[in-house]
């Protein structure tokens, strides 16, 4: 006779286990301790086996019957319900251990060694702020394109169209890392091609014009904020390095400062191009570095600051420009364009200029050749450039 819920509740324990059958192999096992456990007796490949469904009343009579019916369906197609249950447990455990966030952290750790600190920080911050809250806890092999699109759309709605596209690319790299490591079968970001808004015409960073150089350099010299900030801006002006390359500069990278051919050897891991960059140092730059050393004291960094990274923040220089009155008129990165334009107009070899901008050839052999061949030429060019800047500054005095 089939069980009833009342019968399950009223089943009494005895001094030995008792089985109360419901039919189809399902029975309630009442232990001497009083616990009531659902079990299914079945045969597979001629062997008698038992499958557990949990304890009553946590698993109701109705749920136990549903589990029994599912097990019977597996038996009907030649599958062992016990093995199927073990496989599902393993799958669930693997998925719990391989969420998007877990895999993204592994991917990040594997790639981080080849990135500059600034770039690494930005990738980490954007994942944590925009992607993890939406799909971070999801098993990576279960994430569907609409879920990923929801995360990207939220960024897009803030007006950060370029960032949205970049986050889609980063997410795709994480998914492909999961595919390569056997934790996912596909990259759902591929289904979102064409789903995002276009960024529109590229906006070039504001740059100082040649006619404005004197006023600009004078503003730097008269800057009333931190002296090290003004020196950092002058360093950018003379070398047209990127902000991150200046911020994380270390004294150990400076070679032969008091010799006839001083240079700054920036390691590949700090360069956007991932290629070591040699910067010839002119006498004005050597003096800037000496002044910075006096400011930095015993720090290994040229621009130390009490931040998490130990150096000035990525906004320090641009905010200084704002306070100097150059909001929307100039950016730190835009000065690279100023230097390039003026040097090209004065007939300097384009290859020397591109090399100084660290726009490196994709061919590693040719890139290395350029470094060795043009270092002397770039030193001459940068000396001309330092003289040009000093002359421009003097005109306004």
Q: Which of 323, 359, 366, 376 is flagged as catalytic?
A: 359
Q: Which of 89, 157, 204, 369 is flagged as catalytic?
A: 369
Query: Which of 191, 122, 134 has the alpha carbon at shortest distance from 162?
Result: 122
Q: Is 265 a catalytic residue?
A: no
Contacts of 142 (CB under 8 A, 6+ apart): 95
Contacts of 185 (CB under 8 A, 6+ apart): 141, 179
Q: Is 242 a catalytic residue?
A: yes
Q: Which of 65, 242, 277, 355 is flagged as catalytic?
A: 242
Asked if residues 265 and 253 have their Cβ atoms less than 8 Å apart, the reply is yes
Query: The tokens 């808004």 sit on which residue?
Result: 197
Q: Which of 247, 336, 355, 378 is flagged as catalytic?
A: 336
Query: The tokens 């079990």 sit on which residue?
Result: 39
Asked if residues 255 and 262 have their Cβ atoms less than 8 Å apart, the reply is yes
Q: Is 272 a catalytic residue?
A: yes
Query: Could you write out the DSSP letters of every residue in 235-288?
Result: HHHHH---HHHHHT-BGGGEE-TTSSS-EEEE-GGGSTTSS-EEEE--HHHHHH
User: Residue 20: in which H helix or E strand, if any?
Assistant: strand 18-23
- CA dist., res. 242 & res. 352, Å (int): 17
Q: Is 193 a catalytic residue?
A: no
Classify residue 317 by burial, with Cβ atoms within 10 Å: 0-12, 13-18, 19+: buried
Q: How far apart are the first and last CA of the chain?
A: 107
User: Residue 30: in which H helix or E strand, if any?
Assistant: strand 26-30
How is residue 149 annotated by DSSP?
A: H
For the record, the structure tokens of 352 come out as: 């020397």
- CA dist., res. 112 & res. 5, Å (int): 59
Active site residues: 242, 272, 333, 336, 359, 369
């Amino acid at each position: 006779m089939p069980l009833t819920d009342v019968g399950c509740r009223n089943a009494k324990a005895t001094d030995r286990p008792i089985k109360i059958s419901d039919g189809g192999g399902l029975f309630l096992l009442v232990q001497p301790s009083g616990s009531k456990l659902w079990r299914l007796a079945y045969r597979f490949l001629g062997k008698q086996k038992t499958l557990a469904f949990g304890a009553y009343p946590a698993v109701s009579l109705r749920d136990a019957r549903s589990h029994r019916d599912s097990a019977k369906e597996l038996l009907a197609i030649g599958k062992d319900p016990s093995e199927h249950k073990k496989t599902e447990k393993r799958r669930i455990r693997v998925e719990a251990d391989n969420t998007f966030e877990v895999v993204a952290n592994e991917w990040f750790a594997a790639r981080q060694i080849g990135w500059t600190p600034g770039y690494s920080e930005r990738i980490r911050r954007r994942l944590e702020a925009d992607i993890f809250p939406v799909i971070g806890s999801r098993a990576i092999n279960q994430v569907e394109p609409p879920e990923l699109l929801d995360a990207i759309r939220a960024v897009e709605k803030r007006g950060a169209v370029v960032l949205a596209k970049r986050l889609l690319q980063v997410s795709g790299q994480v998914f492909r890392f999961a595919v390569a490591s056997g934790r996912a079968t596909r990259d759902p970001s591929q289904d979102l091609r064409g789903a995002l808004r276009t960024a529109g015409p590229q906006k070039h960073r504001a740059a100082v014009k040649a006619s404005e150089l004197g006023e600009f350099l004078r503003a730097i010299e008269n800057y009333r904020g931190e002296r090290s900030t003004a020196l950092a801006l002058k360093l950018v002006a003379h070398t047209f390095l990127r902000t991150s390359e200046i911020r994380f500069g270390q004294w150990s990278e400076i070679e032969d400062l008091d010799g006839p051919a001083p240079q700054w050897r920036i390691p590949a891991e700090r360069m956007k191009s991932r290629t070591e960059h040699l910067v010839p140092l002119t006498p004005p730059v050597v003096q800037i570095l000496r002044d910075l050393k006096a400011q930095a004291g015993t720090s290994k960094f040229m621009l130390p600051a009490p931040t998490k990274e130990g150096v000035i923040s990525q906004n320090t220089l641009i905010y200084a420009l704002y306070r100097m009155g150059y909001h929307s008129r100039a950016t730190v990165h835009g000065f690279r364009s100023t230097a390039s334009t003026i040097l090209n107009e004065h007939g300097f070899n384009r290859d020397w200029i591109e090399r100084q901008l660290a726009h490196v050839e994709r061919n590693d052999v040719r890139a290395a050749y350029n470094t060795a061949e043009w270092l002397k030429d770039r030193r001459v060019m940068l000396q001309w450039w330092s003289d040009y800047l000093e002359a421009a500054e003097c005109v306004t005095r």
